[in-house]
A and B are shown apart, each in its own frame.
Chain A
Amino acid sequence: MKNRWVLFVPLAIMGLLFGAFIYRLMTPPDTLIQSQWIDKPMPLFDLPPATAGVAGLKSSQLADGRPRLVNVFASWCIPCRAEAPQLEALKAAGVPIDGIAIRDRPEDVAMFLREYGNPFDRIGADMQSSVQIALGSSGVPETFLIDGKGIIREQIQGVILADQVPEIVAKLEAMK
């Protein structure tokens, strides 16, 4: 046998595979599905008010020249509660925010706004997630940055964190 090291090749391959499996178990891949509907106009929709006292949301209202946020949320979404202070901070910084409430009941939305504040100019009720799907959104909360012409410029998945607030204000300012 001149080349007995060859015999170790299968063991080495198995070791490499084993290492790859362990690595993936330790660092699972990112499972967020990002929207591909970016730099595209807002899909057409006309959503009824999600609760009494706050106007509903029409896609045509999102192209009034002022860059804004559209926040996809739900009263039953617990992380959305943690996001409320950041939305308040954005509103205080002069950012117009509209909401889309996913699969929500009017009384639940009212309770959510009472408890966590209402930073929204308008809230549309998306009872069957149809606008959410048309946006390429796959969960709550999600926030879309819309420029003054109604074009979607960016999608933020998950809760907006406090340190992201100034960055978002600056991005919207740059779209003016």
Chain B
Amino acid sequence: MSGLPNSIRFPAKAGIQSVVTLALVLAAPLAIPATAQDRLPPAPYAYQQLKDPAQEARAKALMEELRCLVCQGQSIADSDAPLAGDMRHEVRSKIAAGESPAEIKTWLVARYGNWVSYDPPFDGATALLWLGPLLFLALGGWLAFGRFRRGANDDEGGEA
């Protein structure tokens, strides 16, 4: 994480306005210290486990599979970003209310897409990822087969 919380967005388009924004951002720490992050305590279930160990185990397994939205590359189980804490609270509350991990995952994927999961399903976008190794294996097998056969034909003095 950099100095500024990266859940805060800057304008995508460049222009005078982003210069103004940048100036505001740079000047802000001088004017009002410590406003770059929210001042609320973490949500109850952000850092507190569920009482039932079986439920906590299910929540933990799901949290490790869910991707943090602001600190991309970490799971929400690993991240200390406030939004990740709030997502842990959401997951634990739903598990405690009797929802299954699969239901919660479906609920989140409906909002953030497969991006939010570290275990995306097999579909058009991931097909090459899953089938790639098989393709390369087949290609290697085909090349090796061709080479062996050519080796056997070398006796006749023919070279391709």
Contacts and interface: CB of A to CB of B under 8 A. Distances in A.
A81 B24 contact: yes
Given A79-B9, A138-B70, A158-B9, A35 B112 contact: yes
A104 B113 contact: no
A37 to B, nearest CB: 5
Interface residues of B, number: 40
Contacts of B8: 77-79, 139-140
Contact of A78 (B6, B25, B38): B25
Interface of A: 31-37, 74-79, 81-82, 102-105, 108, 127-130, 132-136, 138-142, 157-159, 161-162
Interface in B13-32: 13, 15, 17, 20-21, 24-25, 28
B9 A36 contact: no
17 contacts: A36-B110, A36-B111, A78-B25, A78-B35, A79-B21, A81-B28, A105-B40, A127-B40, A129-B82, A130-B90, A133-B86, A133-B111, A138-B83, A139-B6, A161-B13, A161-B15, A161-B17
A27 to B, nearest CB: 14
